[in-house]
Amino acid sequence: MKVLVIGGGAREHALCRSLSLDPDVTALHCAPGNAGIAEVAELHPVDALDGGAVAALAAELGAELVVVGPEAPLVAGVADAVRAAGVPVFGPSKEAAELEGSKAFAKDVMAAAGVPTARSYVCTNPAEVDEALDAFGAPYVVKDDGLAAGKGVVVTSDLAVATAHANACDRVVVEEFLDGPEVSLFAITDGRTVVPLQPAQDFKRALDGDEGPNTGGMGAYSPLPWADPKLVDEVMETVLQPTVDEMRRRGTPFSGLLYAGLAITSRGVRVIEFNARFGDPETQVVLARLKTPLAGVLLASANGTLADLEPLRWSDDAAVTVVIASHNYPDTPRTGDPIEGLDEVAERDAPHAYVLHAGTKRVGGSIVSAGGRVLSVTASGKDLTAARSRAYAALGRIRLDGSQHRTDIAAKVAGE
């Protein structure tokens, strides 16, 4: 099978790594990719938001499956353009991707499907905002309705900060604060059949101890030893299947990856958000544990044949990933700094630990930082303690001037 992956972050590197290990994959392409993906896939320059360009590239390469990684192309309708060109595509249509593209739309679908989520108001003017903030009280949760690359949500006990964020957006969702640990649960669906993956936990704040600003994610681990073993079944029944059924009922079936961001509250599981694609960095640890070859699973979603798929097989190992971010992330990150030590990790830590690239590019003979999140150091082990120590040992060999990372990814859960 010839596969083309669209995107160029650590999530796409994780996808490409798994696809490159799949014996059914005969050729692997990625566009636009990054310096790490170039080691496992052939790269092509493309404007990932241009559906026509992506469809043309897929046709030129004879791709038999296109996998669209990030949300922006999905929300822009890139999967539709590829599908219209007759190429199977993993990823939802533009209309279905609104589950991530509009928080108000997601709330509407959840209400119709009876999916448990925070109570909320959609507000379009300052008077509505004041009323909604007052109704829920502190801590305040204010969400920009549209895509905001992880920067649209403000959770604060400061009324002035909440009001200022709300008034800076056109349309906001103000909602009840959900207490309790967060879980990311991904499911692969073809619009009808839903196949859950293993749950993971993401660390969204920039600094140790969950301090500092929200980011795209600074690390993740899987499995979750503290979670109720029935969690996946419960979320399938109360969240994933009803949402997929409701989307089909509306005539806009959702196929691809449905990401449920969940809060495990004292009153039960609640959806914090949906995303329409694999999460980053959770994908790095979920795919590290998936034993079933990936291409056939993604193709079954694209072709509507998930009901015929064998049950997924998982490793009992644990996986941990730690993100190395550039100086000043998540504000304006500094880029162009050389990265050293990657070869040492490849020599000394593989195959249990490896480096997935996010914002990197090759300049002459060296690899330099090219974005906020730069690398995602991923490791497996018999338990979270072993995986964690391998990840941090590998991370210690990498040098990137001014870079930052959290030192406490999976520390508490590993009992450290």
Binding site for ligand AMP (CB under 6 A): 118, 141, 143, 153, 155, 175, 177-178, 182, 204, 214, 261, 272-273
Site track 178-217 with ligand GLY (rule: CB under 6 A), x = hit: ------------------------x--------------x
Q: Does residue number 280 form part of the binding site for ligand GLY (CB under 6 A)? A: yes
Strand intervals (E) in 8-112: 27-32, 42-43, 65-68, 89-90
> How would you classify the pairing of strands 256-265 and 182-189?
antiparallel
Closest by CA to 378, choosing from 328, 333, 331, 317, is: 317
> Of the two residues 279 and 371, which places its CB atom closer to ligand GLY in the complex?
279
Distance CA 400, CA 324 (A): 9
Return the SS3 of 316. coil
Q: How far is the CB of 157 from ligand AMP (least distance, A)?
A: 12
Q: How far is the CB of 373 from ligand AMP (least distance, A)?
A: 16
Distance CA 62, CA 49 (A): 20
Q: How many CB atoms lie within 10 A of CB 368?
A: 18
Q: Residue with structure tokens 């870079």?
A: 403
Q: Does residue number 144 form part of the binding site for ligand GLY (CB under 6 A)? A: no
Q: Does residue number 275 form part of the binding site for ligand GLY (CB under 6 A)? A: yes
> Of the two residues 63 and 197, which places its CB atom closer to ligand GLY in the complex?
197
Q: Which two tokens stand for residue 10?
A: 């650590």
Tell me the site size for ligand GLY, rule CB under 6 A. Answer: 6
Distance CA 197, CA 186 (A): 5
> Of the two residues 67 and 132, which places its CB atom closer to ligand GLY in the complex?
67
Q: Helices 94-101 & 241-249, crossing angle to 10 degrees?
A: 130
Q: Work out what residue 153 binds among ligand GLY, ligand AMP, none; the CB cut-off runs from 5 to 8 Å by kind.
A: ligand AMP
C-alpha pair distances (Å), 284 with each of 10, 233, 349, 375, 402:
8, 23, 17, 11, 24
Q: How far is the CB of 148 from ligand AMP (least distance, A)?
A: 8
Q: How far is the CB of 409 from ligand AMP (least distance, A)?
A: 16
- Which DSSP helix (H) or strand (E) runs through 233? helix 231-235
Q: Does residue number 100 form part of the binding site for ligand GLY (CB under 6 A)? A: no
> Of the two residues 120 and 275, which places its CB atom closer to ligand GLY in the complex?
275
Q: Work out what residue 282 binds among ligand AMP, ligand GLY, none; the CB cut-off runs from 5 to 8 Å by kind.
A: ligand GLY
Distance CA 372, CA 85 (A): 34
Q: How far is the CB of 184 from ligand AMP (least distance, A)?
A: 9
**Closest residue to ligand AMP using C-beta atoms:** 273
Residue 304 main-chain phi, psi, to 5 deg: 75, 30
Q: How far is the CB of 298 from ligand GLY (least distance, A)?
A: 18
CA 366 to the chain's CA centroid: 28
Q: Does residue number 12 form part of the binding site for ligand GLY (CB under 6 A)? A: no
Distance CA 245, CA 105 (A): 15
Q: Work out what residue 118 binds among ligand GLY, ligand AMP, none; the CB cut-off runs from 5 to 8 Å by kind.
A: ligand AMP
Q: Work out what residue 155 binds among ligand AMP, ligand GLY, none; the CB cut-off runs from 5 to 8 Å by kind.
A: ligand AMP
